[in-house]
């Protein structure tokens, strides 16, 4: 008998939940059920159980996720189908045009950011964002930028900054930016912040000001700055492969310095710098690490940015008008093959992008 009972379909396995109401409330209940599109209380309860009703507002979803992260790091601490959807119905084309026209990223970058957001949002906002840790730091940094830009866009769109805060919390709670280097970590999110820092840095006068400008405009590492000051310039232009610097002056007020200096994983192919700054810098008689330390103290004091931070800002600026490949080449993080290609064939275009990039941040190169 017992085994037979087990085989029976469990169609009677229900629990009855009673609700007591007064007779005169019955009409009100029916009316209100109708108002929300229900014919029976049972239907309402069914939808309530499956989270279809009442709809959880986006604000509420974000707050819930935020609270959960704070409490115990579990984003889905609610038992049952709490599924955040606030990020799912984003108008991706609208986000793209926001990046393009409001944030003034170039087309390629805007498209990349939207694509990274679209492709990885379910993982990022899902129960196991740590899955993102399996990607290379470089890819991960793009994914995080995509998410952060979604946060900015969300704020812009619905005037709710909580989404942006939630994104930062997810990143730090799950250590998603662990192992990213300075460039990948960057992320000075606010354009106005960058603009005002650049303005303050550009205002520094004299020899210290010159050191700062070399750092800011070249984006080179400190040792590379010292190297391009002391290394002899070769006068032989066409296809020379000696170890001196090779310098190309462009008509738009820029100088391209081909460096080709490699140590371990640090590579420096070439840099772009305004001709005026380059000439002044080469005319300085003595330049060494002490000059950089002095400049560092001043930038730290005036703008709260370390000298190495100039490289960060440079990368930020460059990535506004260049594809990530080009910005990486300038930062010395690309494959030598593509760097050589750019150095030979794309100089005009890359210097044009360089001018545009700075102009987006209020700096005119001439
Ligand atoms: Zn040479």
| Structure tokens belonging to residue 64 | 């819930």
* Integer angstrom CA distances of residue 63 from 23, 126, 156, 164: 39, 15, 18, 12
Ligand 1 centroid from CA 233, angstroms:
8
Highest mean pLDDT among 167-171, 174-178, 225-229: 225-229
Ligand 1 centroid from CA 259, angstroms:
11
Look over the chain and give the mean of its residue pLDDT values, rounded to a whole number. 84
pLDDT tens for 304-341 read 889 998 998 898 888 777 766 777 777 776 666 667 67
Q: Does position 81 have pLDDT exceeding 50, yes or no?
A: no
Look at residue 97 in the predicted model and tell me its pLDDT: 93
User: Which distant-in-sequence residues (6+ apart) come within 8 Å of 337 by Cβ?
Assistant: none
Ligand 1 centroid from CA 245, angstroms:
7
pLDDT tens for 223-242 read 999 999 999 999 887 678 88
Pairwise pLDDT comparison (86 vs 298), residue with the higher score: 298
| Structure tokens belonging to residue 92 | 């991706």
Ligand 1 centroid from CA 149, angstroms:
44
Grouping H, G, I as helix, E, B as strand and the rest as coil, residue 49 is helix
Please tell me the distance from the alpha carbon of residue 294 to that of residue 312, in angstroms, as a whole number.
19
Q: What is the mean pLDDT of residues 271-284?
A: 96
H helix intervals, 161-205: 162-173, 182-185, 191-202
Look at residue 133 in the predicted model and tell me its pLDDT: 92
Please tell me the distance from the alpha carbon of residue 233 to that of residue 56, in angstroms, as a whole number.
66
Please tell me the distance from the alpha carbon of residue 227 to that of residue 23, in angstroms, as a whole number.
90
Look at residue 83 in the predicted model and tell me its pLDDT: 66
Residue 10 pLDDT class (50, 70, 90 cuts)? low
Ligand 1 centroid from CA 225, angstroms:
19
The verdict on domain 191-359 having CATH code 3.40.50.720 is: no
Taken in order 340, 341, 347, 350, the sign of the CA dihedral is negative
| Structure tokens belonging to residue 261 | 């200096």
Ligand 1 centroid from CA 344, angstroms:
15
Q: Does position 199 have pLDDT exceeding 90, yes or no?
A: yes
DSSP state of 256: E
Ligand 1 centroid from CA 260, angstroms:
11
| Structure tokens belonging to residue 284 | 């300085």
Look at residue 73 in the predicted model and tell me its pLDDT: 47
Contact between 115 and 149 under an 8 Å Cβ cutoff? The reply is no
Ligand 1 centroid from CA 79, angstroms:
69
Q: Does position 79 have pLDDT exceeding 60, yes or no?
A: no
Identify the helix (H) or strand (E) that includes residue 342: helix 336-345
Pairwise pLDDT comparison (294 vs 338), residue with the higher score: 294
User: Which distant-in-sequence residues (6+ apart) come within 8 Å of 199 by Cβ?
Assistant: 362
Q: Does position 78 have pLDDT exceeding 50, yes or no?
A: no
Ligand 1 centroid from CA 324, angstroms:
29
Ligand 1 centroid from CA 327, angstroms:
25
Look at residue 168 in the predicted model and tell me its pLDDT: 86
Ligand 1 centroid from CA 266, angstroms:
22
Could you give phi then psi for residue 262, rounded to 5 degrees? -125, 130
Residue 180 pLDDT class (50, 70, 90 cuts)? confident
The overall pTM is greater than 0.85: no
pLDDT tens for 115-142 read 999 999 999 998 899 999 999 887 888 8
Percent of the chain scoring above 70 in pLDDT? 85
pLDDT tens for 82-107 read 567 789 888 999 999 998 888 777 78
Ligand 1 centroid from CA 281, angstroms:
21
Q: Does position 184 have pLDDT exceeding 70, yes or no?
A: no
Ligand 1 centroid from CA 350, angstroms:
22
Contact between 151 and 163 under an 8 Å Cβ cutoff? The reply is yes
Among residues 214, 201, 326, which one has the least CA distance to residue 278?
Answer: 214
Please tell me the distance from the alpha carbon of residue 339 to that of residue 262, in angstroms, as a whole number.
13
Domains of the chain, residue spans: 21-55, 92-173, 191-359
Residue 72 pLDDT class (50, 70, 90 cuts)? low
């Amino acid at each position: 008998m017992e085994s037979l009972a087990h085989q029976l379909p469990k169609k009677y396995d229900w629990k009855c939940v009673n609700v007591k109401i007064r007779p005169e409330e019955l009409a009100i209940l029916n009316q209100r059920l109708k108002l929300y599109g229900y014919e029976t209380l049972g239907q309402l309860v069914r939808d309530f159980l499956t989270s279809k009703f009442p709809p959880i507002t986006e604000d509420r979803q974000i707050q819930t996720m935020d609270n959960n992260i704070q409490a115990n790091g579990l984003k889905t601490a609610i038992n049952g189908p709490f599924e955040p959807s606030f990020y799912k119905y984003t108008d991706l084309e609208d986000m793209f045009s926001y990046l393009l026209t409001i944030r003034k990223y170039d087309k390629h970058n805007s498209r990349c950011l939207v694509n990274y957001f679209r492709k990885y949002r379910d993982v990022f906002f899902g129960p196991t964002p740590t899955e993102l840790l399996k990607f290379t730091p470089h890819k991960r940094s793009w994914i995080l930028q995509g998410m952060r830009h979604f946060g900015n866009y969300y704020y812009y769109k619905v005037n709710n900054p909580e989404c942006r805060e939630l994104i930062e919390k997810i990143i730090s709670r799950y250590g998603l930016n662990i192992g990213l280097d300075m460039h990948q970590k960057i992320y000075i999110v606010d354009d106005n912040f960058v603009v005002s820092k650049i303005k303050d840095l550009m205002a520094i006068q004299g020899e210290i000001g010159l050191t700062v400008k070399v750092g800011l405009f070249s984006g080179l590492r400190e040792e590379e700055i010292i190297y391009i000051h002391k290394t002899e310039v070769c006068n032989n232009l066409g296809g020379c492969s000696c170890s001196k610097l090779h310098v190309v002056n462009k008509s738009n007020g820029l100088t391209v310095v081909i460096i080709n200096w490699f140590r371990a994983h640090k590579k420096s192919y070439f840099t772009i710098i305004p001709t005026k700054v380059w000439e002044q810098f080469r005319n300085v008689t003595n330049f060494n690490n002490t000059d950089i330390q002095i400049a560092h103290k001043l930038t730290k004091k005036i703008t709260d940015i370390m000298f190495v931070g100039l490289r960060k800002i440079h990368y930020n600026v460059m990535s506004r008008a260049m594809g990530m490949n080009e910005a990486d080449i300038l930062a010395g993080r690309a494959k030598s093959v593509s760097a050589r290609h750019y150095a030979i064939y794309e100089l005009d275009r890359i210097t044009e992008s360089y001018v545009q990039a700075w102009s987006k941040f209020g700096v005119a190169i001439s």
